Chain A
């Protein structure tokens, strides 16, 4: 079975992570936050590396939220 995008809970302490994510943006302007997000995406995408997983992540992220 090829590696797949993990869509089950995988972050050991979700509250800690979420807090850290918001803290990283604390006090930043919109432009600075956008830049931080872009750097974060690139860092994580490189860590993943696998093109099939990246494609699947793009697909999942592109799904329109249910209205």
Chain B
């Protein structure tokens, strides 16, 4: 086993199907290659979905929809762009995209870290529930919509309706915000949040100063925050 763990398993998706690859990645939870290099992803869907082991994955090229969805423990690096729903419902581990990510990156993510070196499109971190997201570029409209937990760090600009109907996620933006969503307000960047942000930037290997960011969060004024409405649920 020791020898197998040291070698890098190569999978060429122009020769093998995503279904075969994903089955092998799932089987690796019970032993087998721990380090993988995937070539010719060619925009295929659901590459590496459902990994449940501390594997190392390098993907050379652009991936399609729902890449490494539900990821648990694996460290994934995508040398290209990602399609809709990157690392959807990520549980833990780290997913890094060298290029851009399409809409709904890290949607509903419960844990782990997602790093986008380029821009993320609309709905980044929609309904996030504990994942941390660091975007070096910009994010599109409705990012952090109904975001419940975790942190969304945007080193560039944010589009319209940022943090609409947000719960307890911490949002940090260095650039401009086109428009804040309903019930999302700017908040003080205190000591706790500066430390959290500094830690996330370091973890994501981003050279930026926490003091240059502004923090946004929930005003907690929407209907669901009012105790008098508790009976309605």
Same assembly: no
